[in-house]
C-alpha cells in the first residue's frame, strides 16, 4: 500500500481538490457554509482521478530514467509491476473522463466535459511526449489551469475578469515545473531563476481581478475586508514562496531545490484559500485551508516530489 501511495504522490492530491473546490466557490460566490451540490463533488472526483492518472503514467513513461536517477521509486525498485501501473493509470484516466461527463450532466452544461477532455489530452501529452521538451512546463501549467476551470465550469462558467485566476495559476505551476526540472541532480541557476520569474508572473496575473477594487478603494466582493488588505496578504504569501525558491538558486543542491518545490506545491492550497477569501469570506477560506493538514500528514508518509 505504501508503494502505491508513493506512486500516486498522495499529499499532492490535496492541492488538486483545493483547485476544484476554490474554482467552484469563486464562481458560485457562496457566502454561508452549506453542503456543496453534486456537481461540485463530481468535479472533485474527476480532478482526483486525473491527478492520480498523471502521477502513475508519469512514472510509467519515466521508468528507464528512474532506474538511473531514482532507483528507490516503486516501479524501478520492483515494488509495483510496470504493466499493473500502466493499467491502473489508464483506468484512472478513463474514470476522470467519465466523472467530468457526469459533472456536465448534473451541471447541465457541456463545459465540464470539454474541460475533462482537455485534461485527458493534457495528461497524456505531458507524460508521453512533452515532459522532456521545452513545452513540458507549459503543458503541466495548462493542466493545472484546466483543473481550476473544471471547478469553475461545474458552478456555471467563467464570469467577467475571473479568467485571470486559472490563467495565473497555470503560469505559476508552469514556473514551478520549470524550477523542478532538474531536482534529481544539481539544478542550473538560470533554470531556477526562469522558473521563479514565471511563478511570480503567475501570482501577479491571478491577482489581476482585484485591481479595480483596489483602485476604487472598495471592499472584497465577498468580505468586508478592504481589497488593498487582501492584495497585501497575497503579496506577503507570494513573496514567501519566491524567497524560499531563491534559497534553491543560492544553493542548487537536490535537497534545497526539493524543499523549495515541496513548499511551492503545498502553498497552492494556501493560495487557493486566499482567493476564496476574496469571494466567499473567511469561513469558506478556512474550509479550503483545512486541506493543508492532509497535505502535511501525507508528506510524513510519502514525499510530494
Assign 219 to helix, strand or coil.
strand
Percent share of the chain, pLDDT over 70: 99
Comparing 95 with 4, which gets the higher pLDDT?
95
Please give the Cα distance from 206 to 214 (Å, whole number): 15
Report whether pLDDT(304) > 90: no
DSSP structural state of residue 226: B
Please give the Cα distance from 209 to 158 (Å, whole number): 12
Residue in the structure block whose three cell numbers are 532538474: 182
Report whether pLDDT(192) > 90: yes
- pLDDT (0 to 100) of residue 188: 87
Question: Residue 230's CB: how many other CB atoms inside 10 A?
Answer: 21
Q: Confidence class of residue 246 from pLDDT cuts 50, 70 and 90? A: very high
Interior/surface letters 67-77, b for 16+ CB within 10 angstroms, e for the rest: eeebeebbbbe
Q: What is the mean pLDDT of residues 173-197?
A: 87
Q: What is the mean pLDDT of residues 136-153?
A: 96
Average pLDDT, the chain: 91
Please give the Cα distance from 101 to 20 (Å, whole number): 15
Q: Confidence class of residue 154 from pLDDT cuts 50, 70 and 90? A: very high
Comparing 20 with 301, which gets the higher pLDDT?
20
Please give the Cα distance from 111 to 107 (Å, whole number): 9
pLDDT digits (tens, 9 = 90+) for 2-53: 888 888 888 889 999 999 999 999 999 888 888 999 999 999 999 999 999 9
Question: Residue 194's CB: how many other CB atoms inside 10 A?
Answer: 16
- pLDDT (0 to 100) of residue 219: 85
Tell how many helices (H) and how many strands (E) occur in the chain. 13, 0
Report whether pLDDT(187) > 80: no
Task: Please give the domain boundaries of the chain with CATH numbers for all domains.
Answer: 2-301 (1.10.357.140)
Q: What is the mean pLDDT of residues 217-241?
A: 90
User: For residue 108, what is its C-alpha cell?
Assistant: 447541465
- pLDDT (0 to 100) of residue 184: 63
Residue in the structure block whose three cell numbers are 458560485: 28
Question: Pick from 58, 123, 46: which is nearest to 85 by CA?
Answer: 58
Q: Which pairs with CB-CB distance under 8 Å and at least 24 residues apart come from 186-195?
A: 186/252, 186/253, 186/254, 187/248, 187/252, 187/254, 187/257, 188/252, 189/249, 189/252, 192/245, 192/248, 192/249, 192/252, 192/257, 193/249, 195/137, 195/245
Rg (CA), the chain: 19
Please give the Cα distance from 2 to 248 (Å, whole number): 29
C-beta of residue 33 within 8 angstroms of C-beta of residue 2? no
Assign 171 to helix, strand or coil.
helix
pLDDT digits (tens, 9 = 90+) for 267-292: 999 999 999 999 999 999 999 999 99
- pLDDT (0 to 100) of residue 115: 96
Q: Confidence class of residue 62 from pLDDT cuts 50, 70 and 90? A: confident
Q: What is the mean pLDDT of residues 294-302?
A: 83
User: For residue 102, what is its C-alpha cell?
Assistant: 457526469
Q: Which of 46-55, 162-171, 188-197, 250-259 has the lowest mean pLDDT?
A: 250-259
Report whether pLDDT(204) > 90: yes
Residues in the chain: 305
Question: Residue 110's CB: how many other CB atoms inside 10 A?
Answer: 12
Amino acid at each position: 500500500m505504501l508503494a502505491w501511495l508513493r506512486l500516486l504522490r498522495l499529499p499532492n492530491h490535496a492541492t488538486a481538490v483545493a483547485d476544484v473546490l476554490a474554482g467552484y466557490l469563486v464562481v458560485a460566490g457562496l457566502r454561508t457554509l452549506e453542503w456543496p451540490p453534486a456537481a461540485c463533488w463530481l468535479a472533485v472526483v474527476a480532478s482526483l482521478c486525473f491527478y492520480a492518472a498523471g502521477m502513475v503514467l508519469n512514472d510509467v513513461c519515466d521508468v528507464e530514467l528512474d532506474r538511473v536517477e531514482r532507483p528507490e521509486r516503486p516501479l524501478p525498485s520492483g515494488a509495483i509491476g510496470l504493466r499493473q501501473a500502466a493499467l491502473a493509470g489508464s483506468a484512472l484516466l478513463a474514470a476522470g473522463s467519465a466523472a467530468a461527463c457526469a459533472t456536465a450532466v448534473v451541471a447541465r452544461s457541456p463545459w465540464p466535459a470539454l474541460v475533462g477532455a482537455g485534461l485527458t489530452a493534457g495528461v497524456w501529452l505531458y507524460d508521453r511526449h512533452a515532459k522532456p521538451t521545452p513545452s513540458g512546463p507549459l503543458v503541466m501549467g495548462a493542466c493545472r489551469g484546466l483543473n481550476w476551470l473544471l471547478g469553475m465550469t461545474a458552478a456555471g462558467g467563467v464570469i467577467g475578469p475571473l479568467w485571470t485566476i486559472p490563467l495565473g495559476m497555470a503560469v505559476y505551476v508552469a514556473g514551478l515545473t520549470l524550477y523542478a526540472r532538474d531536482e534529481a541532480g544539481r539544478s542550473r541557476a538560470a533554470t531556477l531563476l526562469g522558473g521563479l520569474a514565471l511563478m511570480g508572473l503567475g501570482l501577479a496575473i491571478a491577482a489581476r481581478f482585484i485591481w479595480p477594487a483596489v483602485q476604487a478603494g472598495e471592499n472584497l466582493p465577498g468580505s468586508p475586508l478592504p481589497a488593498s488588505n487582501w492584495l497585501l496578504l497575497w503579496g506577503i504569501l507570494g513573496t514567501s514562496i519566491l524567497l524560499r525558491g531563491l534559497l534553491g538558486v543560492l544553493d542548487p543542491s537536490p535537497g534545497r531545490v526539493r524543499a523549495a518545490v515541496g513548499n511551492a506545491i503545498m502553498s497552492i492550497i494556501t493560495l487557493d484559500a486566499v482567493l476564496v477569501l476574496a469571494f466567499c469570506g473567511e469561513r469558506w477560506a478556512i474550509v479550503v485551508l483545512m486541506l493543508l493538514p492532509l497535505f502535511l500528514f501525507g508528506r510524513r508518509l510519502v514525499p510530494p516530489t
